[in-house]
Amino acid sequence: MSKLSVHIETFGCQMNVSDSEQVATKLREHGFELADADASADVILLNTCSIREKAEQKVFRRVNEIKRGRAGRQPLVGVLGCVAQLEGESIFNSSPSVQLVAGTGAADRIPSLLDRVRGGESRVIDLGGREEGADFEISPAVRHSKHVAFVPIIEGCNKFCTYCIVPYSRGRERSRTAFEIVEDVEKLRADGFKEVQLIGQNVNSYRPRVEKGLEGFSGATPFSRLLRAVASTGMTRVKFTTSFPRDFHADIVKAIEEYENLCNWVHLPVQSGNNRILRAMRRGHKVEEYLERVAAVKNSRREISLTSDIIVGFPGETDEEFEDTLRLAEKCEFHGLYIFKYSERRGTPAARLKDDVTKDEKTRRFLSLENLQMAIQSKVYKDYVGRMVEVLAEGFSARSDSDLKGHTTCNKVVNFAASPEFIGKVVRVRVTEAKAHSLFGQLL
Ligand code: 5AD
Ligand code: SF4
In a domain, 413, yes or no: yes
Structural domain ending residue among the three candidates 74, 95, 126: 126
Chain centroid to CA 90: how far?
27
> What pTM, to 2 d.p., does this model score?
0.96
Structural domain ending residue among the three candidates 74, 96, 126: 126
Q: Whose CA is nearest to atom 1 of ligand 2?
A: 164
pLDDT (0 to 100) of residue 1: 58
Pocket test for ligand 1, best of 57, 168, 243, 309 (most atoms within 8 A of CB): 309
CATH number at residue 37: 3.40.50.12160
Q: pLDDT tens digits for 271-289? A: 999 999 999 999 999 999 9
User: Distances in Å between the alpha carbon of 270 and those of 211, 287, 437, 442?
Assistant: 31, 8, 20, 35
CA of 58 to the centre of ligand 2 (A): 22
Q: pLDDT tens digits for 152-167? A: 999 999 999 999 999 9
Does the pLDDT value for residue 132 go beyond 80? no
Strands, sheet with 195-199, edge to edge from the N-terminal-most edge strand: 148-152, 195-199, 237-241
Structural domain ending residue among the three candidates 61, 91, 126: 126
In a domain, 84, yes or no: yes
In this prediction, residues 178-206 reach a mean pLDDT of 98
CATH number at residue 422: 2.40.50.140
**b/e string for 389-404 if b means 16 or more Cβ within 10 A?**
bbbbbbeebeeeeeeb
In this prediction, residues 247-274 reach a mean pLDDT of 98
Q: pLDDT tens digits for 45-93? A: 999 999 999 988 899 999 999 988 888 889 999 999 999 999 999 999 9
Alpha-carbon torsion 195, 411, 250, 303, what sign?
positive
In a domain, 200, yes or no: no
Cα(196)–Cα(145) distance, integer angstroms: 11
In a domain, 206, yes or no: no
Cα(39)–Cα(381) distance, integer angstroms: 41
pLDDT (0 to 100) of residue 135: 78
In a domain, 298, yes or no: no
Domain that holds residue 420: 388-443
Give the total number of structural domains in the chain. Answer: 2
pLDDT above 90 as % of the chain: 92
Does the pLDDT value for residue 104 go beyond 80? yes
Q: Which ligand is nearest to the CA of 282?
A: 2
The answer to whether 222 and 177 are in contact (CB under 8 A) is no
Query: Nearest-CA neighbor of 443 among 369, 396, 388?
Result: 388
In a domain, 135, yes or no: no
Cα(298)–Cα(301) distance, integer angstroms: 8
Averaged pLDDT of the chain: 96
Cα(181)–Cα(375) distance, integer angstroms: 40
167 Cβ below 6 A of ligand 2: yes
Q: Degrees (nearest 5) of the Cα angle 272, 274, 279?
A: 85
Q: Which ligand is nearest to the CA of 342?
A: 1
Q: pLDDT tens digits for 304-329? A: 999 999 999 999 999 999 999 999 99
Residues in the chain: 444
Q: pLDDT tens digits for 364-393? A: 999 999 999 999 999 999 999 999 999 999
Q: pLDDT tens digits for 1-43? A: 568 999 999 999 999 999 999 999 999 999 999 999 888 899 9
CA of 31 to the centre of ligand 1 (A): 38
In a domain, 189, yes or no: no
State the pLDDT confidence band at 134, using cuts at 50, 70 and 90. Answer: confident
State the pLDDT confidence band at 350, using cuts at 50, 70 and 90. Answer: very high
pLDDT above 70 as % of the chain: 100
The answer to whether 189 and 181 are in contact (CB under 8 A) is no
